[in-house]
Amino acid sequence: MIYMYYVSTYSMPTILSWRLLLRSNLLKTTFDKRRQILNLNLINIKMSTTIYKADASPPARTVLMIADLLGIKYNGYDINPILREQDTPDMTKKNPMRTIPFIEDDGFCLGDSHAIILYLLDKYGKPEHSYLYPTDKQKRATINQRLFFDCGILFPYLRTIMALTYTGRLTELSKSMIRNIESGYRMLDTYLSDSMYLADDVMTLADLSVFTTMSTLHGLVPIDSTKYPKLMNWFINMSEKEICKKINQPGAEQHVAGLNALMENNKINQKSKL
């Protein structure tokens, strides 16, 4: 792993300290030093895979869990999305979407966590990992659909909250936001009607991907076990898995705490302007 200057992505002290650096024109020097350290380390590291990430990011947590399950040795490069570190010319060339996570594998760059985990499994997966993405066509189609659900429906609910919070406009979740999240919970509860997991009777890529999104959503809008009992059971089951405890839980707690703190800060700022 590359150990670099890294601050908690979403903590208020971090945001305030970086703003002070911006005002005092010290940020460029800090970035230059960080870039030099990174370049020096990259020269000496022989690992071929780099994961550009933020531990609080749900999609990044998904990729990190899959990499761990597959036993991939990788370089970890921490990016602070609030500072838009993914917007530099070099990063934009590698990942035009300017999203987190993305990977660089033997010179091949790929963004979007869903595409990344499919690629990593295809390249590094062994027979013992086949349960994550079985060859049965119907099971695989179901997994794909759940991944598309996460990408196209569930995560966008969260992304809207994140964007409005980070730009200082959101002080609390609106009724429509909560309604959308509850709609996602309802669909997931229905998906779990015929199996213990989202696409099979064993955990697959779909569960890991959806679980990271759900870990943050549940922290903002807790799952009502009376309305969505199957979803609640699934969430508890996933929470107890060692891979989720080790990689997902710390980042999820950081993400939820950061969003709540920023919303409170936004509320104070908006009141001060009245």
Query: How high does pLDDT run on average in the chain?
Result: 86
Residue 53: phi and psi, rounded to 5, are -150, 170
Alpha-carbon distance values, 61 to 10, 103, 157, 171, 211 (Å) = 15, 13, 18, 26, 10
Q: What percent of the chain has pLDDT over 90?
A: 72
pLDDT tens, position by position, 56-91: 999 999 999 999 999 999 999 898 877 787 778 878
- Helix 58-70 to helix 113-124 angle (10° resolution) is 0
Q: What is the pLDDT of residue 37?
A: 44
Q: Which of 89-98, 118-127, 234-243, 245-254 has the lowest mean pLDDT?
A: 89-98
- What is the rounded end-to-end Cα distance, in angstroms, of the chain? 48
Q: Tokens representing 121?
A: 């499994």
CB 248 within 8 A of CB 214: no
State the alpha helices, DSSP H only, in the chain. 12-23, 27-44, 58-70, 89-94, 113-124, 137-149, 155-166, 175-191, 205-220, 229-239, 242-243, 249-272
Sequence-distant (6+) residues with CB within 8 A of 76 are 1, 2, 50, 51, 53
Sequential DSSP letters for 129-186: GGGGS-S-HHHHHHHHHHHHHIIIIIHHHHHHHHHHHHTT--SS--HHHHHHHHHHHH
**What's this model's pTM, rounded to 2 decimal places?**
0.83
pLDDT tens, position by position, 129-165: 999 999 999 999 999 999 999 999 999 999 999 999 9
Q: Cis peptide leading into 101, omega within 30 of 0?
A: yes
Q: Quick check: helix, strand or coil at residue 39? A: helix
Q: Does pLDDT of 240 surpass 80?
A: yes
Q: What sign results for the dihedral spanned by CA atoms 85, 73, 148, 193?
A: negative
pLDDT tens, position by position, 83-119: 787 778 878 888 878 888 999 999 999 999 999 999 9
Q: Quick check: helix, strand or coil at residue 233? A: helix
Q: What is the pLDDT of residue 75?
A: 94
Q: Can you tell me the distance from the alpha carbon of 121 to that of 149, in angstroms, rounded to the nearest whole number? A: 20
Q: Can you tell me the distance from the alpha carbon of 230 to that of 235, in angstroms, rounded to the nearest whole number? A: 9
